[in-house]
Amino acid sequence: MNDTSDSNDISSAFGRGGKAPRANRRVLPGFGLSLGFAVSYLSLIVLIPLAGVFLRASEISWEEFWSIVTSRRVVASYKITFGISLAAAATNAVFGLIAAWVLVRYSFPGRRIFDAIVDLPFALPTAVAGIALTTIYAENGFLGQYLYPLGLETAYSRIGIYIALTFIGLPFVIRSLQPVLESLDKEVEEASATLGAGRWRTFFRVIFPAILPAWLTGFSLAYARAIGEYGSIIFISGNMPLRTEITPLIIVQRLENFQVAQAAAVAAVMLVASFAILLVINVLQRWSESLGQARG
Amino acid sequence: MSIKAIQISKTFGTFKALENVSLEVPDGKLVSLLGPSGSGKTTLLRILAGLEFPDSLETSRVLFHGKDVTAAPAGRRGVGFVFQHYALFKHMTVESNVAFGLNSLPRKERPAKDVILTRVCELLQLVHLDGLGGRYPSELSGGQRQRVALARALAMNPKVLLLDEPFGALDAKVRKDLRRWLRTFQEEIKVTTIFVTHDQDEALELADEVVVMNNARIEQVGDPQTVYDRPVSPFVIEFLGNVNRFVAGVGSETKDREKDVLYVRPHDVELEPEDHETHAYALKAKVQHVFSAGNYGRVALERVGTREPFEAEVSRERLRELDLVPGRVVSVIFRHVRLFPKGEFLEADIRDGSLVASTSSFSAKTMYS
């Protein structure tokens, strides 16, 4: 019993619980300084510019704001943006997990190159990605010519948006999972095997709980990235109002028409929605971490 | 269940982990695989468990109670395996950890929930962890975790228990307690147990039989007494316990001399005052240090002439009698020596001033030259 309380003391001394009394000395000093820096940095880079969005949005009246953000065309764009982003992030979560697994667990010729290719969607200008994807997936494109006869309109459609969002989100899941998969304890899997568990049971009951937090991180990053994506979509989506028009495009259009307040209103809604979604995922992640690590 | 391993070879890349190793473990015995790291002991254990497979499934054989399990995977062998670093499932409670094997059984064979729970409680009682079923592994001490790992392995009623350096990660005190506990525990449940260790004390204290391994091969198999008192090779004598090593001069050819090695255990070294009635087989040595803490006094010595360092273990009374101080020269008599000339094994006792050797060609003159 004593060990547990000891380990509790140790972990709180490192500030993990945040419940440590102030008198507790930390191993690394400078908490005040680093917190101050972090807060001001975050404010300058993120919070103040975002607050500007709400400030601009407040220039119009509440009724006006409401009618803008609930207009048919804008609501349709929310559905497209958040819905297709979700589908793309979910796809990436599944295939990213498989890809990360293959990259970590097996060695095969060209693995290094494959590993490097994963990062390309990070580095490529999104407009380039959009144009490239459109070329390939258009009706007469390299892949489109085979997909269109199957009834898959892969360019200038929601499928096109889905393809582009999957493309740009892929690295997030793989890169989040890789280090965790690498650090997995092989002995734990062997223990499961000696206890007679089959491969599926070993994966779902032993490995999956350990990688779940990282997997959710990768998913939420891919989702967040997809929600904010603009550059590649505008080329492949065809930008048809109500059908393939994404919210970021609406914001840009309003700005181009000098309807700054209107743009800010839509942006504010997006911000709140994104924040709420990320918050939910974050809570899920904490929960899954507490499952994986147990309480210290 | 008896275990038989026949002609096991295993290579990892270019590294030979096991070379044609054969081993037989009788039913119900507690056997230790002892050797330095890289000697192949863990690989052998893992092959017995089915976590690793021999290079050739044709020439190598693993038999459990006469039944061929060479190609059977770990889950089908009915072995309990305990890992050095416990390998507990961190996200599961102690209870779920122990119940994992039973819950992995196919639905038809799986006992009912309350049966599993009762069994888990029994097991936790057995390893003295009753009441801790709801804890997570991170809330337990190292010794407790190791016992959870043991309970988890025992849940499936294994016919064979395999432990990979089970006490390696624990501190000295816990290690000793757990060692004794395992000994009585194994006698109680009588399951054939093999454990890997690099700690000679652990092997000698715990095992019915010690398998000394070196360089991918088995050097010697025997009960603790035998491997300690009658080692068959220089490696075994050097690995088990402290020993003094002298390059001896048996064999008339100078080129052979380097290969002849003479071993004396520190407790077989007798010290006398320098002016003591000269013994036919005595040699002279200078005292370097005296360590008098502990049950025995240890004296570090240097042989006069060749300056070979060696150690003697004498009782504390004797230490007082001799009144040893660094720099003093003493007469040294070896009570019992072992000599390995070119792989051949000679043993000699010195009794009442005469040498009793097992081979006639062995003479005191060549011994010390």
Q: Write the CA distances from A34 to A40, A46, A140, A142, A215, integer angstroms.
A: 10, 17, 56, 53, 29
Residue B82 identity: V
pLDDT at residue B229 in the model: 85
- Among A3, A107, A194, the strongest candidate for a mutation testing the B interface, having the largest count of B CBs within 10 A, is A194
What value of ipTM does the predicted structure carry?
0.79
Residue in A7, A206, A293 closest to B89 by CB: A206
User: 10 Å Cβ neighbour count for B170?
Assistant: 18
Residue numbers in B near A3 (CB within 8 A) = 139-141, 144
Quote the mean pLDDT of chain A: 87
Confidence of residue A8 (pLDDT cuts 50, 70, 90): very low
| Cβ–Cβ under 8 Å, residues B143 and B174 | yes
CB atoms A294 and B137 under 8 Å: yes
Q: What is the separation of C-alpha B68 from the centre of its chain, rounded to a whole number of angstroms? A: 28
Domain ranges of chain B: 3-238, 243-368
**Percentage of residues in chain B having pLDDT higher than 70:** 87
CA distance A159 to chain B (A): 39
Domain B243-368 in CATH 2.60.120.890? The answer is no
pLDDT at residue B99 in the model: 95
CA distance A208 to chain B (A): 10
What are the tens digits of pLDDT across the range A129-150?
999 999 999 988 899 899 998 8
**Section B316-340 average pLDDT:** 83
| Cβ–Cβ under 8 Å, residues A72 and A150 | no
Looking at the domain assignment, is residue A245 inside a domain?
Answer: yes
Q: What is the C-alpha to C-alpha distance for residues A205 and B260, in angstroms, rounded to an integer?
A: 58
Q: Which residue has the higher pLDDT, A51 or B262?
A: A51
Regarding beta strands B209-214 and B283-291, do their DSSP bridges make them parallel or antiparallel, or are they unpaired?
unpaired
Residue in A187, A194, A201 closest to B74 by CB: A194
**How deeply is A51 buried, as exposed, middle or buried, from its count of CB atoms within 10 A (0-12, 13-18, 19+)?**
exposed
Confidence of residue A2 (pLDDT cuts 50, 70, 90): very low
Max Cα–Cα distance, chain B, nearest Å? 84
Tally of domains within chain A? 1
pLDDT at residue A152 in the model: 87
**How deeply is B46 buried, as exposed, middle or buried, from its count of CB atoms within 10 A (0-12, 13-18, 19+)?**
buried
What are the tens digits of pLDDT across the range B15-66?
999 999 999 999 999 999 999 998 999 999 999 999 999 998 889 999 998 8
Quote the mean pLDDT of chain B: 84
CB atoms A205 and B89 under 8 Å: yes
CB atoms A194 and B50 under 8 Å: yes
Instruction: Say whether pLDDT at A3 is over 80.
Output: no
CA-nearest of A202, A82, A3 to B137 is A3
| Cβ–Cβ under 8 Å, residues B300 and B288 | yes
Confidence of residue A25 (pLDDT cuts 50, 70, 90): low
Q: What share of chain A is helix, strand, coil (3-state, %, to 5)?
A: 75, 0, 25
Instruction: Say whether pLDDT at B169 is over 90.
Output: no
CB atoms B91 and A292 under 8 Å: yes
Q: What is the C-alpha to C-alpha distance for residues B207 and B28, in angstroms, rounded to an integer?
A: 12
| A188 touching chain B per CB within 8 A | yes
Looking at the domain assignment, is residue A142 inside a domain?
Answer: yes
pLDDT at residue B188 in the model: 86
Instruction: Say whether pLDDT at B260 is over 90.
Output: no
CB atoms A195 and B91 under 8 Å: no
Confidence of residue A29 (pLDDT cuts 50, 70, 90): confident
Instruction: Say whether pLDDT at B323 is over 90.
Output: no
Q: Is B348 helix (H, G, I), strand (E, B) or coil?
A: strand
Looking at the domain assignment, is residue A35 inside a domain?
Answer: no
What are the tens digits of pLDDT across the range B75-84?
889 899 999 8
Residue ranges of the alpha helices (H) in chain B? 41-49, 94-103, 113-126, 142-154, 172-189, 200-206, 224-229, 234-239, 254-257, 316-322, 364-368
- Among A188, A195, A211, the strongest candidate for a mutation testing the B interface, having the largest count of B CBs within 10 A, is A195
Instruction: Say whether pLDDT at B351 is over 60.
Output: no
CB atoms A195 and B156 under 8 Å: yes
CA-nearest of B244, B242, B216 to B228 is B242
**Section A25-44 average pLDDT:** 85
Looking at the domain assignment, is residue A24 inside a domain?
Answer: no
Q: In this structure, what are the phi and psi dihedrals at residue B332, rounded to the nearest 5 degrees?
A: -125, 135
Cβ-based interface (< 8 Å): residues of B facing A: 49-51, 73-76, 79-81, 83-85, 87-91, 100-101, 104-105, 135-141, 144, 149, 152-153, 155-156
Residue in B136, B141, B156 closest to A294 by CB: B136
pLDDT at residue A241 in the model: 86
Place of tokens 């290094």: A112
Q: Which residue has the higher pLDDT, B192 or A296?
A: B192
Confidence of residue B280 (pLDDT cuts 50, 70, 90): low
Structural domain boundaries, residue A218: 63-293
pLDDT at residue B262 in the model: 78
Instruction: Say whether pLDDT at A182 is over 90.
Output: yes
Q: How far apart are the first and last CA of chain B?
A: 52
Confidence of residue A23 (pLDDT cuts 50, 70, 90): low
What CATH number labels B3-238?
3.40.50.300
Confidence of residue B332 (pLDDT cuts 50, 70, 90): confident
Element of type H or E holding A211: helix A208-228
Q: What is the C-alpha to C-alpha distance for residues B96 and B100, in angstroms, rounded to an integer?
A: 6
CA-nearest of A274, A239, A262, A276 to A71 is A262
User: 10 Å Cβ neighbour count for A237?
Assistant: 26
**Closest chain B residue by Cα to residue A290:** B91
- CATH code of the domain in which A233 resides: 1.10.3720.10
